[in-house]
A and B are shown apart, each in its own frame.
Chain A
Amino acid sequence: MVRLEDNKFYTADKPLEALPLPAKVYIPLSQHLGKPCFPLVKAGDCVSLGQKIGSADAHVYSLVHSSVSGRIKAVTDWPHPVLGRAKVVVIEADDSCGPQRIDYSLREDVDKLTPESIKNIIFDSGIVGMGGASFPTHIKLNPPKPVEALIINGAECEPYLTADYRLMLEKTQEIIKGIELVEKCLGVKKVFIAIEDNKPQAIKAFRRFNYNVFVLSSAYPQGGEKQLIKSVLNKEVPRGKLPFDLGVVVHNVATVFAIYQAVYLNKPLYERIVTVTGSIVNKPKNLLVRIGTPIKELIAYCSPLKEDPAKIISGGPMMGIAQYSDEVPVIKSTNGILLLGKKEAVPLQEEYCIRCGACVRECPAGLLPCMINLASERSIWQEAISYGALDCIECGVCSYVCPANRRLVQSIKRAKLEAVR
Chain B
Amino acid sequence: MTDSLLVNTSPHLHKKESVKRIMWLVTLSLVPCGLAGIFIFGLGALWIIVLAILAAVITEFVLQAATRRRITVFDGSAVLTGLLLAYNLPADVPFWLPVVGAIVSIAIGKQVFGGLGQNIFNPALVGRVFLMASWPKYMTTFVRPLSYDAVTSATPLAALTEGKALEGISYLDLFLGNRPGCIGEVCILALLIGAAFLLLSKYISWHIPLSYIFTVGLLSYVFGAKTLFAGDWFSHILSGGLILGAFFMATDYVTSPLTYKGQFVFGIGCGIITVVIRLWGGYPEGVSYAILIMNAATPIIDRYTRPRIYGS
* A residues with CB within 8 A of B: 2, 4, 159, 226, 230, 236-241, 308-313, 317-327, 338, 340, 345, 347-348, 351-357, 360-361, 363-368, 370-371, 387-388, 391, 394, 396-397, 399-405, 407, 409-410, 413
Contact = CB atoms under 8 A, between A and B. Distances in A.
A363 B117 contact: no
A308 B4 contact: yes
Contacts of A351: 18-19, 72, 75, 116-117
A31 B114 CA distance: 46
Nearest to A413: B9
Chain A, interface SS category: loop
B309 A367 contact: yes
B9 A340 contact: no
Nearest to B17: A403
B200 interface: no
B164 interface: no
Given A354-B253, A354-B254, A370-B258, A318 B13 contact: yes
A347 B258 contact: no
B311 A399 contact: no
A319 B12 CA distance: 8
A397 B6 CA distance: 21
B308 interface: yes
B11 A409 contact: yes
A409 B5 contact: no
Is chain B's interface secondary structure helix, strand, loop, or mixed overall?
Answer: loop
A241 B311 contact: yes
A310 B260 CA distance: 40
Interface of B: 1-2, 4-15, 17-19, 21-22, 72, 75, 114-118, 253-254, 256, 258-260, 302, 306-312
A51 B142 CA distance: 90
Contacts of B1: 308-309, 326
Contact of A353 (B5, B6, B117): B117
Nearest to A353: B117
Nearest to B8: A322
Contact of B253 (A230, A238, A340, A357): A357
A311 B11 CA distance: 12
A320 B4 contact: no
A312 B5 contact: yes
A371 B14 CA distance: 20
Contacts of A318: 10-13
B307 A322 contact: no
A370 B306 CA distance: 12
A237 B5 contact: no
Contacts of A345: 6, 12
B310 A366 contact: yes
A370 B72 CA distance: 21
Given A322-B5, A352-B117, A355-B258, A400 B312 contact: no
B14 A311 contact: no
Given A317-B11, A354-B254, A403-B21, A230 B6 contact: no
A351 B17 CA distance: 12
Given A368-B306, A391-B309, A400-B11, A324 B258 contact: no
Contacts of A226: 310-311
A356 B263 CA distance: 12
A10 B285 CA distance: 60
Given A309-B1, A391-B311, A403-B19, A319 B10 contact: yes
Contacts of A338: 12
B6 A367 contact: no
Given A308-B1, A401-B15, A324 B7 contact: yes
B261 to A, nearest CB: 11
Nearest to A322: B7
Given A226-B311, A371-B258, 9 more contacts: A310-B4, A318-B10, A323-B5, A351-B116, A355-B254, A391-B310, A399-B11, A409-B10, A410-B8
A367 B307 contact: yes
A311 B10 contact: no
B14 A357 contact: no
